[in-house]
Structures are given as structure tokens and as C-alpha cells.
A = this chain, B = another copy of it.
């Protein structure tokens, strides 16, 4: 789904992070598919907080509920509507928070009536030729009800002349370019598809006799399900009462999984492509220590996302690990900003210096990434005001210099500090005593690779390298805002 987005908390300048744009989940064959889906979506809440939705099938009827806000606000034990959602198959979706007034009609899963019956679909990712496809469909008489790229897929499925739903979906996807992990539900089947390059994650799990599809393994854990395997790039799985059938929607090519999932997006307790996210972050931190160690008293993580890398850094370097910054987990919707006279400008809403720890110390701050640089600057300043003698910033990713076109909300290149400035300029801007990013090869080493394969890299790392595995559409680049009326 293509939207320019901002965080709901306006202080701390968005925490200065990139943001994943969705989670998908699906179950087939459990008498409590709706409850499992609610739990799964709750575990995937970090991938999208604006809205959530669920479509279920009870053998006779489809049921749908979509709402703004968190999963727990929409699907909970006190909600009358959970009973109305009871079914043996379900798909669900979390949507990332966006600018402007959110609209119910854009909340997934979508449910619509096609010639073969009801069809529900939910999508994580972004289509790069969505505008062109949409225009062509409208010109020939299709009515769009949402402003999402996902809807183009549905129209293509609706127009397909194939008889079997899975063939219709395949035919539709052949006309589509981009990154996607899809879950779809028809009356007797749960369907999952991953794009040909496998940019976005999709995982198969099982509990008792039910199969599950999920963006991350942490959603398996919350229901006690076991991990079976990652869906392959270009693979479509059909899950029905006979079990799992696998089809291919494209030839097998080398996958290009999004490396930022390991750096920041995914939950640390998730395991993707058999790699622990927590361990990957620790290894990145350790590699960062090897590349750019420096003498200091303390390693301080920027909470929460910098914690595993900081711990890896501390263990590798032997420098003491301390929580020098405390995060307030209660989040304000809209920041109250007293005037400069009334309140010191260096304070932050969500982070506070643990001055007793920091005062008089040389410290290494570890964060996972720098996007705009605004939060880093505030945090360094806060550290100094708390008495730090020197502040050395270490970043557990290479400089972010390019936008993502595959479902991640990235600021304009003009707002990516590393796209505009040299290392020394950034250091100066954030007022750190020293600054280092992990190198791109260091990142690949931390991921267990010998080095980055320059011809066909092992991951999608376009945000660091500009090496886009799927050509972004001209329309899309210049006109992404038109996508959302």
C-alpha cells in the first residue's frame, strides 16, 4: 500500500525510523480461526498501528470487521463482535498509520463478490505498476472503491476468464510488478503468495490440524503454533482440508529479501529464513564494534530498537553495557509544546537521560539507523546535558540514502540526512564526538555472508545501495501521492 506516512507522535521527530507498512495473517481449519487471528494480529501490531481487519468464513457465510486503531481495540473478549466473526478460516491485516484522515474503505482485508463467489484478500508490500494498471482498468469500466494498490489485484482477478480461483489469482499477479506477501480466502481455501523475489516475508506454521500464514514467527509463538517453513519467493500455497498444495507463479530466481527486516522492522523474537532477528542484531552490533571500536566507559543503547545491537557491541568490545536512556512507554497522541521560555528545548517526550549513570562518562551510543538525524541530535544533546564527557554514535546499519518502493514508508531523499551529507557533516549535525555506520560489507558479514554479491546481492538493500531489484515505475515515483485521493 502506497502512502506517505508520519508517526502518531510528533515529538522526538518520529523516533527517526523507517516504518513497515503492514502485516498479514491467515488460518485454515481451526474452530477458533477468528480468535487465533486476533492473537496473531496482536503479535504483529508493530507492523501497522493505524487500522486492523479480519475476514472469516464459517462454512456458510463470510464475516468481516475492520476498524481504525489497534488490534486490541477492535478484537477483544468484551467485543460482541468476536462471536459474529466465529469461523474455521480467517485472514487478517494490520495497516500502518498514515497521514490525514484515515478511511474505512482503505482498511484490509477486502471482501468482494466475484463470479465464482466471495473473495477476501490482504496484502503487505507495494505494487510498482499499480497506477498504470489502475488507469487501464478504470478506462475500461472498473469502479475502484479504495485508494489502495491492492484493489487493482482484485479487479484483475475479477476480470480473469480462468475458472479456478487460484488460476485467476496467478493470471492477475502476472500483470503486477512489485513486492507483496498476500493472503486470500475463498469459501474452501486459504491462499498465500509471495512475490517472485521474496522481498516481503511470509511464513507457514501449524497448530494441531490447522495451518497458518503469517508475516513473522512471533505470531506463531503467541498461539503456541510451530514453524514449518518460509513460503518461497514466487510460490503460491493453497491450504484446504486436504492440507497444503504448492504452486509456482514465477520461475525460481535468487531471492532478494528485505535486509531492513533484520535491522529494524521485525520483532527481535522472530526468526526469518531460519535466522533469529535478535541474534542478527547482536551480530551487527558486534561487527560494528570490530569495524569502529573506540575507547569509552559505557555502551548505551538508544531504546528500544538499538538494544540488541548495543548488547552485541558491548559483548564484543568488553565495554560495560548500561541503560543510560529510559524510555517512557506511554505514548502521547499529539505533542504538547510549551514555548521555549517555559520549557528547556533539549528535553524529549519519550526518552529521558539516566543522569546518575552517564554523568562524567565517555559513552558509546548505539542505534539501529539514522533517517533524518533529528532524534540523534536531540539524544546526543541530552547525553551531554546529563553530564557525558564524550558521546560516540555507532549505527547498526549503513547510511540510508534511497527511498523504498516495496512497502516501506521512506521520507523523500531530500529528508534522508545521509543522502544529503557526508559522514563528517552528519557527525557535526548531530554534534557527536565521533560517528560510524557499519559498512555494507560488514552488514553482510554480520548476516553470515562472506561478502555482498555485487551482481545479484543476497538481499534487497536498495535503501543503502540504490540497487533496486524491481524497476520502480515512472508513474509511481513521480505520482505516488495521486494514488490516494
Contact B76 A334 (CB under 8 A): yes
Q: Tell me, yes or no, whether A141 is within 8 Å of chain B by CB.
A: yes
Contact B352 A32 (CB under 8 A): no
Which of chain B's residues have a CB closer than 8 A to the CB of A142? 141-143, 158
Contact A75 B326 (CB under 8 A): no
Residue in chain B with minimal CB distance to A307: B323
Shortest Cβ distance from residue A229 to the other chain B in the assembled complex, whole angstroms: 17
Q: A276-B356, A279-B356, A323-B308 are in contact. Are A141 and B113 (CB under 8 A)?
A: no
Q: How many copies does the complex hold?
A: 4
Q: Tell me, yes or no, whether A331 is within 8 Å of chain B by CB.
A: yes
Residue in chain B with minimal CB distance to A45: B330
Q: A45-B328, A75-B336, A322-B311 are in contact. Are A347 and B112 (CB under 8 A)?
A: no
**Measured CA separation A154–B79 after assembly (Å):** 36
Q: A77-B337, A328-B42, A342-B35 are in contact. Are A354 and B268 (CB under 8 A)?
A: yes
Residue in chain B with minimal CB distance to A78: B334
Contact A342 B208 (CB under 8 A): yes
**A307-348 vs B, Cβ < 8 Å mask (1 yes, 0 no):** 110010001000011110010111111111111011111111
Residue in chain B with minimal CB distance to A104: B104
**Measured CA separation A357–B268 after assembly (Å):** 11
**Measured CA separation A323–B306 after assembly (Å):** 13
Q: Tell me, yes or no, whether A197 is within 8 Å of chain B by CB.
A: no
Contact A207 B113 (CB under 8 A): no
Contact B278 A224 (CB under 8 A): no
Shortest Cβ distance from residue A220 to the other chain B in the assembled complex, whole angstroms: 10
Contact A352 B279 (CB under 8 A): no
Contact B352 A269 (CB under 8 A): yes
Residue in chain B with minimal CB distance to A344: B224
Contact A311 B307 (CB under 8 A): no
Contact A207 B342 (CB under 8 A): yes
Q: A207-B342, A222-B352, A354-B278 are in contact. Are A311 and B315 (CB under 8 A)?
A: no
Residue in chain B with minimal CB distance to A31: B342
Which of chain B's residues have a CB closer than 8 A to the CB of A328? 42-43, 45-46, 218, 267
Which of chain B's residues have a CB closer than 8 A to the CB of A450? none
Which of chain B's residues have a CB closer than 8 A to the CB of A485? 113
Interface residue from B43, B141, B330 paired with A72 (Cβ < 8 Å):
B330
Shortest Cβ distance from residue A205 to the other chain B in the assembled complex, whole angstroms: 12
Which of chain B's residues have a CB closer than 8 A to the CB of A353? 221, 269
Q: Tell me, yes or no, whether A271 is within 8 Å of chain B by CB.
A: yes
Which of chain B's residues have a CB closer than 8 A to the CB of A158? 138, 141-143
Contact B139 A155 (CB under 8 A): no
Residue in chain B with minimal CB distance to A315: B320
Q: Tell me, yes or no, whether A38 is within 8 Å of chain B by CB.
A: yes
Contact A112 B143 (CB under 8 A): yes
Residue in chain B with minimal CB distance to A346: B224
Contact A155 B141 (CB under 8 A): yes
Q: A112-B145, A141-B142 are in contact. Are A356 and B278 (CB under 8 A)?
A: yes
Contact B144 A115 (CB under 8 A): no
Which of chain B's residues have a CB closer than 8 A to the CB of A254? none
Contact A35 B144 (CB under 8 A): no
**Measured CA separation A328–B315 after assembly (Å):** 25
Which of chain B's residues have a CB closer than 8 A to the CB of A323? 268, 278, 307-308, 311
Which of chain B's residues have a CB closer than 8 A to the CB of A271? 355-356
**A147-167 vs B, Cβ < 8 Å mask (1 yes, 0 no):** 000000011001110000000
Q: Tell me, yes or no, whether A349 is within 8 Å of chain B by CB.
A: yes
Q: A112-B143, A344-B224 are in contact. Are A339 and B276 (CB under 8 A)?
A: no
Contact A70 B344 (CB under 8 A): no
Q: Which of A104, A139, A356 is most buried by chain B, counting CB atoms within 10 A of its CB?
A: A356
11 additional A-B residue pairs with CB within 8 Å, beyond A114-B143, A115-B139, A307-B323: A32-B343, A35-B336, A35-B343, A77-B337, A82-B336, A112-B143, A112-B145, A221-B352, A221-B353, A224-B345, A224-B347
Q: Which residues of A contact B (CB under 8 A)?
A: 10, 30-32, 35-36, 38-39, 42-43, 45-46, 49, 70-73, 75-79, 82, 104-105, 112-115, 138-145, 154-155, 158-160, 207-208, 218, 221-225, 267-269, 271, 276, 278-279, 304, 307-308, 311, 315, 320-323, 326, 328-339, 341-349, 352-357, 485
| Pairs A-B, 7 closest by C-beta atoms | A224-B344, A72-B332, A276-B356, A141-B159, A269-B326, A32-B342, A45-B330
